[in-house]
Amino acid sequence: MRDDSWKSRAPAPSGFGRAVVISTLVLLSACASGGSDSSDSSVGATDPPASTTVVGSPEESVPTTESPLESPDTSAAETTEVPDDGLNLSELPGSIAVATFGCGDDFSPPSPDGTDTYEICLIDPDGGRVVAVPVPDTYVDHLSWSWDGRFLVFDGEEKAWLVGADGTGLAERNYWGSPTIGESPDGSWRVASRRVEPGFWLSPIGATPENPQWVRVVLDDDACCLLARWSPDGSRLVHGTGGDGCQSLAVVEVDTGLSRLLTGPDSPFDGVCVYPDSARWSPDGTEILFMNEGPDQMESIPTVVRADGSGIRPLVADTAILPSGSYIANFDWSPDGSAVVLGLAHDMGSGLYVVSRDGDEIEEIPNVPLGASVGWSMAWSYGQ
């Protein structure tokens, strides 16, 4: 009998999905022993590396825009057209990437001495292809595709990496300014957030650590800001805000610095708590998918809020369509916005599932090995 006891001993990864993958492994271990568990880049905002030299005082040398957090204007609700053609996995575009301990059915976590490697699994939406990309690093997180869908980029322990969409051409890339998900759609800017002072710092792509050319977008919130993600049109950033308790979701206009609360205190959706780094823009920029935290990880709910703050809904309204005992570890939108992929653990094990945008239909991706279904970071490619 295969020894599955490691599943409850695996080191706790960081970030959205990484915190809940341990719960996934514990659940799978319980299933393997005949029982079930009834009980889901927080990704820290990163300072610019210590080696970075900012010329002069940033507050004195770059323009800043002071901006209070505002509640959303719900007088003109934005309507989102939801495709209703049914799910057909073979017609869905792009490739799904998952960071995991190994892509096969016989995977195991890295050894304590850190000599083993992680793997990135590249999976077709219909399960027709699963490609394992070994990564010679002791840490993998923050998966994100380039906006044209040609490359997958991600962070390692002390390096950043990129690999082609077909799983070839793994190479190191410039790490400074990490996380790698902070690059704008037009390729002009990278964004970093800092815990020591509120707001975001933008630096032109191609700038050097010696001359980063930081431009600061300042927000008037002492607890701001957690890891930000660009909107598809590059005009806005969605970010988390708040202290160690219930965190809120906000959208900031890059040009003006004006920020609007979508959830949390002083918004129409008070009491909604956002799991850090879980926000994902829909490809059309009209909705944001995030994890609404429950009393514990097992009760967290994938939730969709309109980007203008005018409406909110659970991704799956009727949870009866989900496998028994389900909880969701990670997710991402399809490139065409018609569906969402879910990394889902349930009473019978785990799998990757695709749910329609309206949450009415769900299909399991077939032929996905166990290792590829148990991961902590997921990204469905853009631009394809």
In the structure encoding, which two tokens stand for residue 141, read together? 């997180």
What pairs with residue 133 in β-bridges? Answer: 120
Spatial strand order in the sheet of 339-346: 327-333, 339-346, 349-356, 362-364
**Phi, psi torsion values for 362, nearest 5 degrees:** -145, 140
Residues comprising the chain, all counted: 384
Q: Cβ contacts of residue 317 below 8 Å, gap of 6+?
A: 359
In the structure encoding, which two tokens stand for residue 91, read together? 């017609």
d(CA 179, CA 175): 8
Q: Which of 304, 245, 259, 256 is nearest to 278 (CA)?
A: 304
Q: Is residue 297 over pLDDT 70?
A: no
Spatial strand order in the sheet of 189-193: 189-193, 200-204, 215-217
The per-residue DSSP string of 140-169 comes to: -EEEEE-TTSSEEEEE-SS-EEEEETTS--
pLDDT tens figures, 183-235: 899 888 888 765 556 677 888 887 877 887 878 776 766 667 777 899 999 99
Claim: this prediction has a pTM higher than 0.95: no
pLDDT tens figures, 125-158: 999 999 999 998 888 888 999 888 999 999 888 7
Question: Residue 288 is inside which H or E element, if any?
Answer: strand 287-292
Residue 282's pLDDT band, with cuts at 50, 70 and 90, is: very high
d(CA 379, CA 342): 11
d(CA 291, CA 248): 11
Half-sphere exposure of residue 278: CA atoms within 13 angstroms, side-chain side: 30
Q: Does domain 5-43+55-380 correspond to CATH entry 3.30.1320.10? A: no
Q: Where are the domains of the chain?
A: 5-43+55-380
